Structure 1
Amino acid sequence: MNYRKLLCFLPLIALITSCSVLPKKDAFEATSTKVSLAVLGTKERSFRKTDFETVGIPVLKKPVALNYSVHNFTEDLFKEYTNMSSGQPAPVVKYVDSLENKPKFVVLEIMDKVLLLSQLNKDVNRTSRTYIKNRPNTKIITGVRMVLTAEMKTQLKAADALYLTSNKRNKNIVLLYKKERQIGTLSLDNSFAFGYKMASFCWDISEEKQVRLGALVGDGERCSQKMLRDPKKLEERRIQEYLSF
């Protein structure tokens, strides 16, 4: 073995290895427009941010489980929050990099995506589903970064489980649970979302040979081989299979 050649290749191997463990791109995008969990819409890119234009709110008859986590502001995220909240009625946040106790924000994410898709396929959401079918680039908000009021923080601390559902006015609210018992509700109207995560829809064909929403994938990700982003192509495939049978 030529050890000189091996030594020449070591820096290249180290570079390749280091590239393989690069941190993943942040799935959240900055926004200056009002967003909320589970709403449908389209994104509009600009130089500094990606604004989200809401076009519809699906009806959630069954509560969808949420994941809730608390995070410290970093300097970059605080700048993002400051830029997005400028001129808007957002909670006041003070950040000093030298202080050990940093201000915090929360992340709410839809955890039970299977149940969410099941409800989107129900008759009550036929209008929303038709809209998605005609506009395959439609997205759904699956996560938000938020700054809460002091009252909302107190409410969340008392709960050990959160669920998203629709009230009688078909407006999404958060149900607060403690030891499997509902202890309250939370409206997100007074919160301020300065970042959001989107998902795209994939369509498949059910066992009853009906075209339906089959999966949610991260923004920019591809559907599996059996699913398609455009449902009209699936309908064409179903017709061809029926004619060839």
Structure 2
Amino acid sequence: MKLKLFLLVTTLCFMSCSPLKKWQNVESKTAGLGAIGEATDDLFTKGFRKVGEPKLSTPISVHIHSVPFTKSSYSKYKKYKEHLGEEVNVQFNDSLESAPRFFQLRITDIVRLKQDLNREMNQVMLDYLEDDPGLELLTEISLVSDTPQESILTKATQAQLIQKGDRVYLEVRNNGTFIQLETSIMEIFDYETAGFCWQLNQRSRPEISTILVNGQSCPKGTEKKAKKLDVSFDYLKL
């Protein structure tokens, strides 16, 4: 009887007390720049399932670029709106001299972000990244914003990701004033992700060595899968 009770409690704790549940951002399940998750591509749509987001100790620089729609990018945006069952308000015709525009936001301070990912405050997140090599970092997003946000993004002279409470926001400098925006509520219709390379630190614990961007491969001495670093990896975690 005691054994059955122990097994029941253990099972319930595994389901409800897992580190992932503590790591997940309960306020927002929508992916924004800097989120961790997995691609959900299919034949018709390209998506990203957010699992959580890292904690940031310092601002992370972001580049904002206003880009004219092309046939390819407009097709992605149209499929995104159709997938949501919403009307496509942006009209595109490649014969027009001036095409409608959208924004691309890209994380540029990869080194500083990697340092934060390896900090103790993100240990729970690292544990899940170690166990699931399919999880990736959302490093670039293409989006359409509403009119007030569009003006702010267009005039922004500086942008960065910041931690405020339990949330990560995009902070932009506009006419000498810093304004906080939440990218997850904008119309994100395309994205780029980055995987990770791993190495053992001085304590023989796995840490992120490289964030893979622009089709990079893992440098020599690092591994795409953390568990390949050492055959005794599973014992080191005990």
Q: What is the aligned residue count? A: 205
Amino acid at match of 1:100: E
Change (3 A) 1:158 1:91: farther
Change (3 A) 1:171 1:212: same
- Cα shift at 1:123: 1.3
Greater C-alpha radius of gyration: 1
Per-residue Cα deviation, 1:79-136 (whole angstroms, up to 9, x for no partner): 2211111245687211122221110011000000111111111111111110001112
Amino acid at match of 1:226: G
Amino acid at match of 1:214: S
Per-residue Cα deviation, 1:29-53 (whole angstroms, up to 9, x for no partner): xxxx953211111123322334321
**Is 2:147 the counterpart of 1:150?**
yes
Q: Which residue of 1 aligns with 2:55?
A: 59
Question: For 1:191 and 1:88, how far apart are their aligned partners in 2?
Answer: 16
- Cα shift at 1:137: 1.8
Amino acid at match of 1:133: E
- Cα shift at 1:221: 4.4
Q: Which residue of 2 aligns with 1:198?
A: 193
- Which stretches in structure 2 are left out of the alignment for 5+ residues? 1-28
Runs of 4+ in 1 over 6 A off after TM superposition: none
- Cα shift at 1:201: 0.7
Question: For 2:144 and 2:108, how far apart are their aligned partners in 1?
Answer: 20
- Cα shift at 1:210: 3.8
Amino acid at match of 2:126: R
Between 38-47 and 108-117, report the one with greater CA deviation: 38-47
Q: Which residue of 2 aligns with 1:214?
A: 209
Q: Which residue of 1 aligns with 2:160?
A: 163
Question: For 1:73 and 1:224, how far apart are their aligned partners in 2?
Answer: 36
Q: Which residue of 2 aligns with 1:85?
A: 81
TM-score normalized with structure 2 length: 0.77
Amino acid at match of 1:153: E
**Is 2:171 the counterpart of 1:175?**
yes
Change (3 A) 1:94 1:111: same
Q: Which residue of 1 aligns with 2:6?
A: none
Query: What does 1:12-31 correspond to in 2, within 5 Å?
Result: none
Question: For 1:111 and 1:220, how far apart are their aligned partners in 2?
Answer: 15
Question: For 1:79 and 1:144, how far apart are their aligned partners in 2?
Answer: 16
Question: For 1:90 and 1:132, how far apart are their aligned partners in 2?
Answer: 37
CA RMSD of aligned residues (A): 2.5
Amino acid at match of 1:205: L
SS at match of 1:144: strand
SS at match of 1:132: helix
TM-score normalized with structure 1 length: 0.75
Q: Which residue of 1 aligns with 2:225?
A: 230
Q: Which residue of 2 aligns with 1:102?
A: 99
Q: Percent same amino acid at aligned positions?
A: 22
Amino acid at match of 2:187: F
